Amino acid sequence: MQMKEMEALEGQDFVIRCDHPTFNSAYSIQWYIALPGKGPLSIITAHKNIKSSDGKFTVTFSNDQKHSFLGIQNVKPEESAVYICVQASTEI
């Protein structure tokens, strides 16, 4: 697990990096937010090298797909939390 404390100012856009050296097309990257006193809540899922966005959160991949980046638009103080990335298999 990668733990890194980061800071952003209110209203800024912010990017968090996730490393996943064994990522391939059979996997997806899922991002969760864990707010203080609450369990993790899924915020966005991305597949392969496809950019995913819901307006607030965006996931992009490095060219080699060994890193993904969670972009957070217009950061608010109440979004101060632990952000978790998980590599999950998409195979059934």
Q: What is the pLDDT of residue 9?
A: 84
The reply to whether 75 falls in a domain is yes
> Closest by alpha carbon to 48, among 67, 24, 30?
24
Say which DSSP state 33 is in. E
Give me the residues of the chain with pLDDT under 50, please. none
Domain holding 73, by residue range, is 14-89
Does residue 53 form part of some domain? yes
Residue 83 lies in a domain: yes
Helical (H) or strand (E) element with 27: strand 27-34
**Residue 2 placed within a domain:** no
CATH number for the domain harbouring residue 77: 2.60.40.10
In degrees and rounded to multiples of 5, residue 78 shows phi and psi of -70, -5
| Calpha distance 61→8 (Å, rounded) | 21
For residue 7, is it within any domain? no
In a domain, 9, yes or no: no
Number of domains in the chain: 1
The pLDDT, as a whole number, for residue 90 is: 62
pTM: 0.82
